């Protein structure tokens, strides 16, 4: 199937921006729980998100992921889209509960068979699999020992990682052990807004630490089983002060420790930062050394072949007194005045993306970077012509790819860009309202409709640089004739 792209105006109209290198990974990303559905198929066990979604009021709109995008059954259609967009990489996750249904012990071969078929098909189409092992869907059975709060979770994760790598390690070039440890810690165990829905500050610290410890242990166990690169994916948010007041400057530095350095430093061999150790020890009333034990930092550090970077926005910080619901001396205040925002209110700051990549290159030299998520919520739906004209997502996509290119021109070692997300999907506690996808999904029928942003992204990928005019996409007829509406 050949894609045709019309030219847009004269050469002077086309962006003379950074040309990305040969072999650069261009792709999109998804996660198992958000797209697969088929929760009772092929021996899958119960996950913490199944249990959480069953709680009254836990999911906006009362939805669940029993069907989602039906991608467990329709995965070939999804790969058709990836292939026809010209993408050479696809990030997806293996569902932990499909492989080790009870969390420990018995391995379910039907789950591994499914992912083996999917990976083999990707390789046959020239698409590099980027495989995430834990995208938040821990088996519910492991909650008997507190889930990630229990240190036994480390051994359970290693068993699972070994089962997957033993079957698939010869075919996977990129592995992401853990997705967004801070979100697991914060929303899952500190605030209780995500599965497993626990509110325990000390427990959240333990959970985040054990996620990192599991990364290190899994790296060691997987290394003999795969030649692929192994890393973790962090959601990184540059923290900027609300003013030049020294108190706000200190608040921004502290927030950076809480969100970014607490995970970056141990993963990349520097150990937990001392300033955040002090903040945490005070917040939990002492005893941090009972959680972060002797030898733990050495077992985490130096076990990252690359760093996965999930970038969405920044945090604007001001000083604030600790108190009920605020364990640390800072608060998020946002930017004063009118600023560009997504439909969910997230500030759009591509310049912060450039700054983040510069910082990672400067402070953690020698660590290759892979952009494992970057995207925005826009609620555009099909119009009278049946197409989705998501001009704002095109603008967002262009701005962030250009921001990444700027950092690369300055030396940042970025191996690829994986847009979040390929498909509109089940957006965790927010249900089905937010739409992140390059592809519109009608959740009643499962029909897939590539948006204008998908076509524009395909043109960028084909050219290896940002081309075309901002807010435009190739004529709908050319690519839609090829892609069709995937019903």
> Which residues 6+ apart lie within 8 Å of 123 measured at CB?
129, 171
| Residue 180 annotated in active site | yes
Query: Cα–Cα distance between 40 and 377 in angstroms, integer?
Result: 30
Options 373, 402, 427, 459, the catalytic residue = 373
Query: Cα–Cα distance between 151 and 291 in angstroms, integer?
Result: 9
Count of alpha carbons within 13 Å of 153, Cβ hemisphere only? 28
| Tokens matching residue 95 | 């569902």
Contact 147, 140 (CB under 8 A): no
Contact 102, 45 (CB under 8 A): yes
Taken as a whole, the chain contains a residue count of 487
**Burial label, 251 (beta-carbon count in 10 A; 0-12, 13-18, 19+):** buried
CB atoms near residue 76 (< 10 Å)? 11
DSSP one-letter string for 63-132: --SSSTT-HHHHHHHHHHHHHHTT-SEEEEE--HHHHSTTSSS---HHHHHHHHHHHHHHHHTT-EEEEE
| Residue 363 annotated in active site | no
Nearest partner of 27 among 96, 113, 125, judged by Cα? 125
> Which residues 6+ apart lie within 8 Å of 208 measured at CB?
148, 181, 182, 184, 185, 189, 262, 263
Q: b vs e for 276-285, b when ≥16 Cβ sit within 10 Å of the residue's Cβ?
A: bbebbeebbe
Q: Catalytic positions, please?
A: 180, 373
């Amino acid at each position: 199937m050949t894609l045709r792209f019309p030219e847009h105006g004269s050469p002077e109209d086309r962006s003379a921006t950074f040309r990305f290198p040969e072999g650069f990974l261009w792709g999109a990303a998804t996660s198992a729980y958000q797209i697969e559905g088929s929760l009772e198929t092929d021996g899958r066990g119960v996950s913490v998100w199944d249990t959480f979604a069953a709680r009254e009021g836990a999911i906006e709109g009362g939805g669940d992921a029993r069907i989602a995008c039906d991608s467990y059954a329709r995965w070939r259609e999804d790969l058709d889209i990836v292939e026809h967009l010209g993408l050479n990489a696809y990030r997806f996750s293996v569902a932990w509960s499909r492989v080790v249904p009870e969390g420990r012990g018995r391995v379910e071969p039907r789950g591994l068979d499914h992912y083996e078929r999917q990976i083999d098909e990707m390789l046959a189409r020239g698409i590099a699999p980027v495989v995430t092992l834990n995208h938040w869907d821990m088996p519910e059975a492991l909650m008997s020992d507190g889930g990630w709060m229990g240190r036994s979770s480390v051994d359970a994760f290693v068993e699972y990682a070994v089962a997957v790598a033993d079957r698939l390690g010869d075919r996977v070039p990129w592995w992401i052990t853990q997705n967004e440890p801070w979100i697991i810690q914060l929303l899952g165990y500190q605030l209780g807004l995500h599965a497993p829905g626990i509110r325990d500050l000390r427990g959240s610290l333990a959970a985040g630490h054990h996620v990192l410890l599991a990364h290190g242990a899994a790296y060691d166990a997987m290394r003999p089983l795969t030649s692929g690169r192994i890393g973790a994916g962090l959601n990184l948010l540059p923290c900027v002060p609300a003013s030049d007041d020294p108190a706000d400057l200190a608040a921004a530095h502290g927030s950076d420790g809480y969100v970014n350095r607490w995970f970056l430093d141990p993963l990349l061999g520097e150990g937990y930062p001392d300033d955040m150790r002090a903040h945490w020890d005070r917040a939990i009333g002492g005893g941090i050394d009972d959680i972060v034990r002797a030898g733990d930092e050495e077992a985490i550090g130096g076990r990252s072949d690359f760093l996965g970077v999930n970038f969405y926005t920044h945090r604007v910080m001001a000083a604030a007194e600790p108190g009920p619901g605020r364990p640390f001396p800072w608060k998020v205040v946002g930017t004063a005045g009118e600023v560009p925002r997504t439909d969910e209110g997230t500030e759009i700051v591509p310049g912060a993306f450039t700054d983040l990549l510069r910082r990672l290159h400067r402070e953690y030299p020698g660590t290759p970077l892979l952009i494992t998520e970057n995207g925005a919520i826009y609620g555009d739906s099909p119009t009278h012509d049946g197409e989705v004209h998501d001009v704002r997502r095109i603008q967002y996509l262009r701005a962030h790819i250009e921001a990444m290119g700027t950092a690369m021109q300055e030396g940042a070692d970025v191996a690829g860009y994986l847009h979040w997300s390929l498909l509109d999907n089940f957006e965790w506690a927010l249900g089905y309202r937010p739409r992140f996808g390059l592809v519109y999904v009608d959740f009643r029928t499962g029909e897939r409709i590539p948006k204008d942003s998908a076509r524009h992204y395909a043109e960028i990928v084909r050219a290896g640089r940002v081309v075309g005019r901002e807010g435009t996409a190739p004529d709908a007829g050319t690519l839609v004739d090829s892609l069709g509406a995937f019903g």
